[in-house]
Structure 1
Amino acid sequence: MKTRINCPCGEYITGETEDELVSKTKAHLSEKHPGHDYSRDEILFMAY
C-alpha cells in the first residue's frame, strides 16, 4: 500500500490508507496548485 507522496513544491503528504492519501493530495492540489488535477491512479503512480 502506498501512503506517502512528495509534491514538487516541497510538501510531504501522508495518509494511513491509499484513499486518505489521494484525498489529502487532491486537497493540497486544489489549495496550492489550482488547475492541476490528477486522477487516483496518477497520484498512486507517483506515491510510495
Structure 2
Amino acid sequence: MKTRLNCPCGEYIRGTDEEDLIQKTQSHLSEKHPDHNYSRDEILFIAY
C-alpha cells in the first residue's frame, strides 16, 4: 500500500492509507496547484 508522496514543490504528503493519501494530495493540488489535476491512478503512480 502506498501512503507517501513528495510533491515536486517540496511538500511531503502522508496518508493513513491510499484513499487518505489521494484525498490529501487532491486537497494540496487544489490549494497550491489549481491548474494541475491528477487522477487517482496518477497520484498512486508517483506515490510510494
TM-score tier by shorter-chain length is over 0.9
Unaligned runs of at least 5 residues, structure 2 = none
Unaligned runs of at least 5 residues, structure 1 = none
Q: Match for 2:8: what amino acid?
A: P
Q: Cα offset for 1:22?
A: 0.2
Q: Match for 1:24: what amino acid?
A: K
TM (norm. structure 1) is: 0.98
For residue 25 of structure 2, what is the aligned residue in structure 1?
25
TM (norm. structure 2) is: 0.98
RMSD after superposition: 0.3
* Counterpart-to-counterpart distance in 2, 1:35 and 1:9: 14
Q: Cα offset for 1:28?
A: 0.1
| CA deviations over 1:1-46 (Å, ceiling 9, x no partner) | 0000000000000001100000000000000001101000000000
Q: Aligned pairs, how many?
A: 48
